[in-house]
Structure 1
Amino acid sequence: MVNRGRSGGCVTCKQRRVKCDEAKPICRLCQRLGLRCGGYGTKYANLKFKGQNYKFNTGIIQSRISCPRPPAECDTAVPFFLDHYAKMGRDLRSARGFFEVLIPVYCSQSNNSALSLAVSAVASETLSLWRHSPDGLRWSQDIYTEAITCLRNAIKDRSERGKEATALAVLSLQLYENIAAIYGLRSATRIHHDGAVSLLPFGDSDNQMTGAYIRKFTLHAEISSAIRQKRPLQDIAYSWIGSKDLIFAPDNPSSALDIIGASVVALQTSYMQLLMRDTSEALSRSALKELVSKARRIDEQLLVWARSVPDYWQPVKIFSGIDVDPSIQTYRSICEVYPSCQIAAIWNLWRVQRILLIKITISSLDKFFYPTQSEHPNDQTFSEINSAAKYKQMSQDLVDSICYSIPFYLGNRTKCSTIADFTDPAILLPSYDSLGEGDKTRLIERNDDHRRHIIAQGPWHAMSPLSRLLTLFVEEYGRHMLSFLRPGQHEWICEQFLRVITLLNIPPLESGTAEDGCRISNSSNNESVNTQAEHIAKRVRKGLNFMSGP
């Protein structure tokens, strides 16, 4: 919330500290500059906050803001980025800890601080992608370089090193690198991620609540990247789990899921170490049996997590032709809608973790009961092998739910995203609005902010689980899991992933030889389309390594 006192000008001109002509419904100055006019009266700009967290009973961070810095007259990138990515669709009750604390800390910084420059670099990069502007990308690279120089100076200063703004600057630069890596179809470097990890012990004790949220986000990113890279957690990450440094940020379902995720990382590490043994050494049956037992225990924790989330988090199933416009592509005519992209992404992370446990379990059972081609199960092992049907059904249900979330993220969009999408009435997005009045009573209000945050964030959130499914199917033992899918489901997932790539304007791989030496064809047959989707997904995953999500 904001409190600006008396004024007749629009909130955008007031924020920019320029004289407003007060034309209605939008002022002519904003119209001439191509800015989004904030209007008059009670519709306020987004960068000056007043603490209202007592309403959520979470003891959340109170903003320590003096006065927001007015952006340069030609600079719309930062307001656009903060509005559509850091504010809309974000809730401290589902916070991962980065975007939710970014705005108040950013507003407390000077224009030439490391955080201000890092946010400007990410914002310019983001807006240039929406505008398809090469000049904007080059400008963002210049700001990125300037931010690096400023950050190095800040880290040398003992008093600046421990500030939350410094840690957020490092995480913002990692976000910049992640986006650049995805669009370059290359591996993201981890230098900023490791830098954020190394800075956390220097955290300022005077800002314990903000620091706790930043630690939780860094822990989340570390767990996500460890699962993607099939590596152990860094030793320092284990010291954060249950640490008193985190108690200042109230627990929520996202942070609770991360704690379980740490166990998934440990199980995956044990599984990979077992596979890496010398081929002449028989895999230990006792070790495989222990892996299966651990996977079941972790899966039970995930099931308990699902029963503990707030009721309003639960996905609501709606149907094409009844609740959903037929122009919206659905899987099996079903769409599941959520309160926000953020909550949908947390559910998909939960689903992917369970699918990974199923993969490890099925692979371990296969190696346990069939260590050689000549061996066959005896009567004592028959019941375990018979349980494969149960795991197949579990996996199928989880993959189905991921597919049901895709129309919520994408609506009926099929073309490369542009700024005009935010006001395009032809874009249709599934929401609770299409349900009957009786169902609406338990659901949150839908408004323009919801629509804008789905348009901005939806394709990004869809890209992660879709690419995860595709890479899962081509990994060790993954091809076996293709048989778990429904007929045509793999093709549908490939099509939706390529659709996301189109929406985000990520350059496709050219015909010829891919990075891994495989041939890629632009042929229109299904096999070639699926192969291309899988190869692009593998490249995209490298850029996603240090981003949040599945």
Structure 2
Amino acid sequence: MVYTGKPSRGCGMCKSRRIKCDEKRPTCGNCKKSARKCPGYPDEFDLVFRDENKAMARKARKTSGSAPSRSCTGGSSSHASPYLSPNAIFDLQSEASSLQLASTSRPRTLSGHSSDGELIHFTQEMQKPLPLDQIFDFQSFAWNIEVPATITMPPEYEAVPFFFKNFITLPQQAESTRGFLEYLVPLYNRARSSSVLHLATTAVAMATCGQYPGRQELLRNAVSTYGKALKKLNDDLQDPVMSKSDETVLAILMFSLYETIMSTDDTITAWGQHVDGAVTLTKLRGTDQFNDEMSHAIFRAVRTMMITSCVQRSKPVDDFPGVKGWIGNGEFNEENVANRLTLICIDLPSLRARANNLTKTPHDPNNELEAKQILEVAQMVDDNLAEWYVTLPSEWKHSTIGVVSEMPALEDLAITEKWPGEQHIYNDVPLASIVNDYRVCRIFCRRVMMACINWLSIGGITENEREYNQSVYVIQQMVDDVSACVPFHLDYELQVVAKSMGQEQNAAEAFGGYSLVWPLYVAANAESVPQAQRDWLFGRLSVIGTKFGLSSAQVLVLARRHVLTCGPIGSSRVP
């Protein structure tokens, strides 16, 4: 691929009229003023991956066919000196170019290629200087050079910018920042091009773009780059300074994202190992990391991932070597809204582990106290979650844009886009994802309570029947709210912020779909929900997989790992 200039992002109508497009969305200003139908804008992905060789060839033919002959009196001052040979002039020009020309001892022709098809060569006859009465026309000379078709941009030059534009550099409110992708840009710009963070980011970018139809060749490059990144990480871990740097910790978190996107047979184990590695380094960094704003932010991101991993594996959270543990050096109220949700859920891993251990054993009166204590803790966490939601800023709350009243036929559940009831939209997908994580947490707490109540009822204790019915009600309410936001996540036209920022449609809908997988998975596995609604939720999971090229295994991994949005909970079932 060769570069032929900045591509036009204007609408098709403005291109055909050869006028400048203001690129307003959904309809450009020119089409609106002239009452023309705006055909829309070119796909961002196609612009990035466009083939410019044909355009280059057309321009070369046009120039060579129309170039007039020149005399010494009619020449421009921009012409090269007649005392320089064409080869010498090209050498001077190439000093400012990123292309490097190499020589070889084998005979060459102007249009001939080397054995590897990557170098431009000239014959020895062209070394002779031009007659003194002839002006050399460099432009005609340059346009007549045959450019080998194998000159292409490295795949990372295409994938990385697309990844950053459509998945990383999207605007996000300070109160909703909680994951690790928000800090990728400053640390990426600070790191060297050969750093483990650059390699890890490139691997993730190519793995992401490789999921697009027709871009599967990028997956091979992703695997190769991932291997190089792992080798570089092993080298950096031997360095006492680099091993504790923000760059290294963030690179490890990027590895976990790569494993989720690729979803290989070893993903389940590798994902947990990467999270454990980031937690280990974070503990080694100690309380000194709280003195730096960026390091403290990375600490919070690792904390969120750790809770996800611990809940998934029913593993209690490891202690952090500090006075306040994983709360850090601040106060709960000093955390932003998203991180307060994470801290509310920090006891959920140990709560789940205790509940699993209890309910897997036969009823024993000696363990009734343990069951009641679990109930008490789960109730406390659920109350804190309810209070968190009540105190949310108004812009975090949903808006109702319609109500669906007709119940779909059972045979149509798999293809029905909307579940009956209210239909909700949000300010943007990241906010909707955090609110959905709140719902997932409440579903989790209430299911723990229901399991303990069932276990106690075996021994004849029925005093918690009212709380059991309340749990069924809360779970249904949370599942209904998750169902109501599905169209918003999957429909670009409903995502106002994504459209206003010019985010590519496929990327926006893919991001919305990926962030919806986890709440759909948890909601569909809630036994108290009607079977028809559970079938519809599983059908939406299938649609996401089909639309965005994900296998069933990849959808399951996305659901269980939930790393794209870094939610506070793992799976709703014991692995």
Q: Normalising to structure 2: TM-score of the pair?
A: 0.65
Moved more, 489-498 or 233-242: 233-242
Q: Answer yes or no: is the 8 Å Cα contact 1:222–1:546 preserved in 2.
A: no
Deviations 1:494-524 (A, max 9, x none): 1111111112212247xxxxxxxxxxxxxxx
Aligned residue number for residue 332 of structure 1: 420
Identity %: 21
Structure 1 residues 15-414: aligned runs within 5 Å: 34=49, 75-181=157-263, 188-200=270-282, 201-202=284-285, 208-236=292-320, 240-244=325-329, 251-277=335-361, 279=362, 281-282=364-365, 284-319=367-402, 329-371=417-459, 375=460, 377=462, 381=463, 384-411=464-491
* AA aligned opposite 1:34: F
Matched, 1:502 2:566: no
Q: Answer yes or no: is the 8 Å Cα contact 2:204–2:258 preserved in 1.
A: yes
Aligned residue number for residue 66 of structure 1: none
What's the secondary structure of 2:424's corresponding residue? strand
Residues 1:82 and 1:207: Cα distance change in structure 2 (over 3 Å)? farther
Residues 1:194 and 1:388: Cα distance change in structure 2 (over 3 Å)? closer
State the alpha-carbon separation in 2 of the partners of residues 185 and 507 from structure 1. Answer: 14
How far did residue 302 of structure 1 move? 0.6
* AA aligned opposite 1:221: M
Deviations 1:232-283 (A, max 9, x none): 1123398642222x67996211110111111222322221232344x47456
* AA aligned opposite 1:500: I
Aligned residue number for residue 423 of structure 1: none
Aligned residue number for residue 532 of structure 2: 488
Q: Answer yes or no: is the 8 Å Cα contact 2:206–2:218 preserved in 1.
A: yes
Residues 1:328 and 1:210: Cα distance change in structure 2 (over 3 Å)? farther
Deviations 1:74-99 (A, max 9, x none): 52111111111111253332111411
State the alpha-carbon separation in 2 of the partners of residues 370 and 345 from structure 1. Answer: 38
State the alpha-carbon separation in 2 of the partners of residues 139 and 387 from structure 1. Answer: 54
State the alpha-carbon separation in 2 of the partners of residues 334 and 149 from structure 1. Answer: 51
Aligned residue number for residue 44 of structure 1: none
User: Where in structure 2 are there 5+ consecutive unaligned residues?
Assistant: 9-18, 22-40, 53-151, 406-414, 570-575
User: Where in structure 1 are there 5+ consecutive unaligned residues?
Assistant: 1-8, 13-22, 38-70, 412-427, 433-442, 474-481, 510-535
Q: Answer yes or no: is the 8 Å Cα contact 2:176–2:431 preserved in 1.
A: yes
Structure 1 residues 463-474: aligned runs within 5 Å: 463-470=517-524, 472-473=525-526
Residues 1:102 and 1:11: Cα distance change in structure 2 (over 3 Å)? farther
Q: CA RMSD in A?
A: 3.8
Residues 1:406 and 1:157: Cα distance change in structure 2 (over 3 Å)? same
Aligned residue number for residue 75 of structure 2: none
* AA aligned opposite 1:467: Y
* AA aligned opposite 1:299: D
What's the secondary structure of 2:494's corresponding residue? coil
Q: Normalising to structure 1: TM-score of the pair?
A: 0.68
* Aligned residue pairs, count: 424
* AA aligned opposite 2:515: H
* AA aligned opposite 1:78: V
Residues 1:116 and 1:447: Cα distance change in structure 2 (over 3 Å)? closer
Q: Answer yes or no: is the 8 Å Cα contact 1:226–1:232 preserved in 2.
A: yes
How far did residue 163 of structure 1 move? 1.9
Residues 1:399 and 1:283: Cα distance change in structure 2 (over 3 Å)? farther
What's the secondary structure of 1:190's corresponding residue? helix
